[in-house]
Amino acid sequence: MTFFLIASLIKILAVFTVIMVGVALLTLAERRICAWMQDRLGPNRVGPQGLLQPAADGLKNIFKEETYPAQADKTLFVLAPAVSFIPALLTFAVIPFAAPLPTPWGQVSMVVADLPVGFLYILAISSLGVYGIVLAGWSSNNKYALLGGLRASAQMISYEIAMGMSTVAVLLLAGNVTLSQIIARQQDSLWFVLPLGLAFFIFIVAAFAETNRLPFDLPEAEGELIAGYHTEYSAMKFSMFYIAEYSNMVTASALMVTLFFGGWDIPFTNWDTTGPAEVLKTLATLAVFGFKTICFLFLYIWVRWTLPRFRYDQLMALGWKVMLPLALVYLTILATAIWILHTRLGWAYEARFAWALAGLNAGLAVVLFWFLDRGRLVSGSVETGSA
C-alpha cells in the first residue's frame, strides 16, 4: 500500500506538472505556428527563440490588477474559473501514456488512476467544464458574457451527444470501458481508426466543438461578443480560462490517440507488447504517445488559422441535423455488421474482422462525403446566385 501511494503521488506530480508546462509551451507553439503560416516571425525576443515568452506572459498576469464588476456575483465570479479549470486537468488522470514501468518494488502502470470505468469517467468529468463557462457568463452581469455562456451550454449539449455515440462504436469493438484494455485490443489487430473511420470523424468534429476551438469558437466570438464569457475577467482569472482551454485540447488529443490510434502502441512492431517490462519500452512508448498527441495538437492549431468561424445557425444545424443522425445511422449499420461477422460468419475479432469493417467504413465514407454539405444539409454554406 505504501508503494502504491508513493507511486501514485509521483505520477500525479509528474503528469500535472508536464501538462501545466506543456500548456504554457503550447501557447507559444500556437503563436509561432500562426506566425509561420502567415509568413511572419512571432514571439522571439524573450529568451532564446522566444522560449521564455509564456513565462513573461504568466508573470504579467500575476501582477495585473484584479477587477470585479460592481454588479457581479462575487462568489460565483471567483469560483467560475476554477470550475472550468479543474475538470480540464482531472480528465487526463485515466489516460494511459506509456507501457508499464518495472521497479524493484513491483510494476507501475503508467496511468494516474487505472479506473475500470475510465472511459465513462472522462465523458462525465469533461462535461463539467461548461458549468464554469456558464457561471462566468451569468455571474459577470454582462449581456455579452451571458450570451457567451448560453452559447457554450447550447454548443456542449449539441455535440456531447454525438461525441458519446461515436465512442459507443469503440466500446462495441473493444468490449470494455477500461482505456488500457481498449489499447490492448488495438494492439491485437488494427488501430480503431481503420475499422471505425467514421466514428473517428464524428469524434474529432465533436472534440473541436467541445473545446470551443475554431471553427466552433462561437462562445467567445470577438466580432460579436467582445470576448464572450470572459469579457469581465482580468489577470490570472482570465488566464485560467485559457489554461482550461489548452488543457482540454491536450486531453482531447490524448483521448483521440488512445481510442483510435493505439494509444502508446508503437506501430509495425510487437516489441512493446511482448516480453518482460523494460525501462526502455516505457520511454519508447512514452515518446510515441507524446508524438501522436503533438500531431493532434498541431491539427488543432492548423485548423484554427485556416478555417473561418461558423455562423451560429450553421453550428446548431451541423450538430442536430448532421452529426446526431449520422452517429445514430452509423451505429446501427456498424452493430449489424459486427453481428453478421461475429454471429453469422463466426469470425473472431482479428485482422480480417478489422479489415472487413475498414472496407465498410471506406464505402460509407465515400457515400457520406459525396453528399455531405454542398448546401444540402447546412443552409447558407454555399454561395447562392444573385437575384
Delimit the domains of the chain by residue range: 63-371
Extract the C-alpha cell encoding 310.
Answer: 461558423
Using CA of residue 111, residue 130, residue 144, residue 301, what is the dihedral sign?
positive
| 385 — pLDDT class (breaks 50, 70, 90) | very low
pTM over 0.75: yes
| 315 — pLDDT class (breaks 50, 70, 90) | confident
Lowest mean pLDDT among 324-328, 342-346, 357-361: 342-346
Beta bridge partners of 108: 101
Coil/strand/helix, residue 101: strand
* Rounded distance between C-alpha atoms, residue 336 and residue 365, angstroms: 17
The answer to whether residue 379 scores a pLDDT higher than 60 is no
* Rounded distance between C-alpha atoms, residue 136 and residue 81, angstroms: 7
* Rounded distance between C-alpha atoms, residue 172 and residue 335, angstroms: 7
User: Quick one: three-class SS letters along 131-152?
Assistant: HHHHHHHHHCCCHHHHHHHHHH
Query: In the prediction, which pLDDT does 386 show?
Result: 46
Query: In the prediction, which pLDDT does 199 show?
Result: 92
Residue written as grid cell 471506406: 362
Contact of 8 with 112, CB cutoff 8 Å: yes
The answer to whether residue 381 scores a pLDDT higher than 80 is no
Residue written as grid cell 458549468: 131
Average pLDDT, the chain: 84
Each residue of 256-299: pLDDT tens digit? 999 999 888 888 888 888 878 788 888 999 999 999 999 999 99
Burial code of 312-337, b = ≥16 C-beta within 10 A, e = fewer? eebbbbbbeebbbebbeebbeebeeb
The answer to whether residue 374 scores a pLDDT higher than 80 is no
Q: In whole angstroms, how far apart are CA 213 and each of 193, 355, 356?
A: 22, 33, 34
Each residue of 40-83: pLDDT tens digit? 888 888 888 888 888 898 888 888 888 788 787 888 888 888 88
Lowest mean pLDDT among 108-117, 132-141, 142-151, 227-236: 227-236
Query: In the prediction, which pLDDT does 141 show?
Result: 81
* Rounded distance between C-alpha atoms, residue 332 and residue 325, angstroms: 11
Percent of the chain with pLDDT over 90: 17
Query: In the prediction, which pLDDT does 214 show?
Result: 77
Who's near 275: CB < 8 A, 6+ residues apart? none
Query: In the prediction, which pLDDT does 137 show?
Result: 82
**Count of positions (residues) in the chain:** 387
For 101, list phi and psi in degrees, rounded to 5.
-100, 120
The answer to whether residue 376 scores a pLDDT higher than 70 is no
The answer to whether residue 1 scores a pLDDT higher than 80 is no
Extract the C-alpha cell encoding 168.
Answer: 459507443
Environment class of 114 (CB within 10 Å of its CB; exposed 0-12, middle 13-18, buried 19+): middle
The secondary structure element, H or E, covering residue 153 is helix 143-174
